[in-house]
Amino acid sequence: MQNVDFCCTFFNYMETEAQDTQATAFLHIPVLRRELIEGLNIHPGGHYLDATVGGGGHSRLILATAPDIRVTAIDRDGAAINAAKETLAGYESRIQFWQGNFADYQPGDVLFEGIIADLGVSSAQLDIAERGFSFRHGANLDMRMDQRQSLTAAEVINRWEEKQLADAFYKYGEERLSRQIARRIVEQRPFQTTNELAEAIAHSVPRKYRYGRIHPATRVFQALRIVVNQELSSLETFLNKAPNWLKPNARIGIISFHSLEDRIVKHTLRESELLRVLTKKPIIAQENELNENPRSRSAKLRFAERVSL
């Protein structure tokens, strides 16, 4: 892979302390960065789509490989777009931003030499208390990736029927105790904050589950986030559209972080008539990356290539 030595300088930059703002909070270390850049098979002069730009880490790696590469960068989150603009200062002439759901993106007549997506909630979104993604911080139940949308986690928790909640917790959180958790929530609502909800969930499960490896609210919060942002349906739509945006022999690389996402990625890439899967098994982080970036532990990267017409 050409021009990979530039990575060291960028990695040092990404690891500096972030300031306490939403934009700088997105300046995290991009996961599976070496594997993604090598597998994407970047060509000088190419035009690439970063469908989840986040803080701009992966896009910067792509842009740095050659002076004539262009990137179109998408994200739902306005704070992420602002952070990416900071990270990619100096590349303004070669990058175009679009805020919105990647499932709604329309490239027109443009065909890309490669497409990447780093799925799910970002570390920054979890760490910014007021976004309401995590019960580690007390905050309003929000969980919107795109702050322009109306549906919030509070509306789901306080207005959905018990069966709807139970089904969502089971389907999107793989929560075995979904029924009793939903029953407790309906009995005690309304809830306004993440802490209130997490405490109610903890007290709705048997005592032995309260002190396990993960907090009893973890799966419910995952399910809520997926529901609020329609993550899985958006992913399916995007993966069905994206092969049509690729030039022949161009590649698509998708990083997922939980089994529900990975299952969709695996099967949709494999079933596409326009793609040839390049990774029988997902690429995972090696020990050195696991040591420097614990978030990479659950990351899985899959590649496919657009077949020639």
Annotated binding site for S-adenosyl-L-methionine, which residues? 56-58, 75, 102, 118, 125
For residue 59, count CB atoms less than 10 angstroms from its CB and return exposed for 0-12, middle for 13-18, buried for 19 or more: buried
For residue 271, count CB atoms less than 10 angstroms from its CB and return exposed for 0-12, middle for 13-18, buried for 19 or more: exposed
Q: Give φ, ψ of 12 to 5 degrees.
A: -65, -40
Segment holding 73, helix H or strand E: strand 70-75
Residue 93 and residue 67 in contact, taking contact as beta carbons nearer than 8 Å: no
Distance CA 124, CA 67 (A): 29
Return the closest-CA partner of residue 223 out of 158, 174, 176, 161. 174
Distance CA 126, CA 26 (A): 10
3-state secondary structure of 267: helix
Return the closest-CA partner of residue 59 out of 108, 3, 25, 97. 97
For the four alpha carbons of 158, 163, 164 and 166, in that order, the dihedral sign comes to positive
Peptide bond into 190 cis (omega under 30): yes
Distance CA 212, CA 206 (A): 11
